[in-house]
Structure 1
Amino acid sequence: MATATEIERKFLVAEMPDLAAAKAVEIRQGYVTRPEDSIDVRLRQKGESYFLTIKSGSGMVRGEHESEISRDAFETLWPAASGTVDKVRWTGKLEDGSVFELDVFSGDLAPLVVVEVEFDSVEAAHAFVPPAWFGPDVSGDKAYSNKVMAFRDRPAG
């Protein structure tokens, strides 16, 4: 089980970048908990891998506990997920060497596109200067959390 503190910033995408060097994977995720719950319990299929994740806290710094599970376990638990999100995640590197994850949502959330960057420290997160193709910072906006979006239509903006 991976246990970590997740420090990330999330942005809308002002202009799609060149993704030629990025890698894409389809993601299907569902939430067992509801948006008003104090923790997130998420199931995620990422390509041919399956995960159960528990997240706590809110905003830029959150606790995260993730375990890889079998496909059978995923399929057994999936019916308990009442809110779902489908997206393609593009992972690549920025000029400064930081890794970005660009999510292109499908279904009711299309054409929403967001990009996230994870950091080793809060100081690094605050010092980060986003490239020109990044749009507004929505890190603290709960309307753009995957859990909230899984239970309703795309946020305005």
Structure 2
Amino acid sequence: MTVRRRFLLASSLARLIQRERGGLRQIEGFFPEQRDRSSWVRLEENRALLILKTAGPNGEAEEQTEVPVGHAHALLDVCAGEIDYTRTKLRIGDREVLIDQFNRPRDLHFITVEFDSEAEGRGFHPLPWFGPEITAEARYSNQAIALRGVEQYQDAPLSDEALNGLLDTLENRFPDQPRSAINRPAKQRAVSKAPAGPASGDGRTAQVNLDDIEAAMMAEMERTLQKGRPD
């Protein structure tokens, strides 16, 4: 059983992560809701998956079956709702963190952390750059966003602590977690345009220096804070 915790992420930090690490564009189409199960098709780079999630006495179980890409496109045409997002994977110690930047149905920025058990999930300490936790808010699930959209959404707050915390993460410096083995994350390859399209306009993963990123982010953060100050 996979347990997930989801957090908001400041849009500026999400752009910084994608600029430094790239990402893979994914499209998911959801079929109409059922009481004890949900199903959807996911298109990512050159493969497609049909996914079924069922609820039982021991929690939720998820099964995936690979399908031909052409079949996935046909299924997307008959789905009840779609989402389109770019996913970047980071490592925090031996834990994988998923950064999702939604393009459709609207701009949204999330952090999702996956665990093998409820106990592991409870023992995880969010990092300083994580925004408010939204795990219990059903409206922020991928299915709810695809089928019903998000009417009200407030970007996570941006602060010096959040920026410095993210820079520490990108340089593999982490606060203590229950499990602390550290693996250097590999640079991710941006998706090609077919079928799901590139994560950025030129289809390449940018090579940048963290000092340059920090300077640019400090300037952007100052502009953001200035907008919130009274004249």
Alignment of 1:94-105 (within 5 A): 94=92, 96-105=93-102
Q: TM-score, normalised by structure 1?
A: 0.84
Partner of 2:31: 32
1:54-86 Cα deviation digits (max 9, x unpaired): 11239xx52101111111221232222110000
Amino acid at match of 1:134: F
**What is the DSSP-based 3-state SS (H/G/I as helix, E as strand, rest coil) of the residue aligned with 1:16?**
helix
Partner of 1:148: 144
Amino acid at match of 1:129: H
Q: How far, CA to CA, are the matches of 1:101 and 1:54 in structure 2?
A: 20
Q: How far, CA to CA, are the matches of 1:93 and 1:108 in structure 2?
A: 28
TM-superposed deviation, 1:22: 3.5
Unaligned stretches of 5+ residues in structure 2:
154-231
**What is the DSSP-based 3-state SS (H/G/I as helix, E as strand, rest coil) of the residue aligned with 1:54?**
strand
Structure with larger Rg: 2
Contact 1:22-1:93 within 8 A present in 2 as well = no
- Of 73, 76, 79, which aligns to 1:78? 76
TM-superposed deviation, 1:151: 1.9
Instruction: Identify the structure with the greater strand proportion.
Output: 1
Instruction: Identify the structure with the greater helix proportion.
Output: 2
**What is the DSSP-based 3-state SS (H/G/I as helix, E as strand, rest coil) of the residue aligned with 2:136?**
coil
Partner of 2:46: 48
Amino acid at match of 1:25: L
Amino acid at match of 1:11: F
Aligned length: 148
- Is the alpha carbon distance of 1:23 and 1:99 closer, same or farther for their aligned partners in structure 2, counting shifts above 3 Å? farther
Percent identity, aligned pairs only, is 22
Amino acid at match of 1:109: R
Contact 2:24-2:86 within 8 A present in 1 as well = yes
Q: How far, CA to CA, are the matches of 2:21 and 2:94 in structure 1?
A: 13
More moved, 20-29 vs 43-52: 20-29
CA RMSD of aligned residues (A): 2.0
Structure 1 ranges of 4+ moved more than 3 A:
20-23
Q: How far, CA to CA, are the matches of 2:110 and 2:22 in structure 1?
A: 16
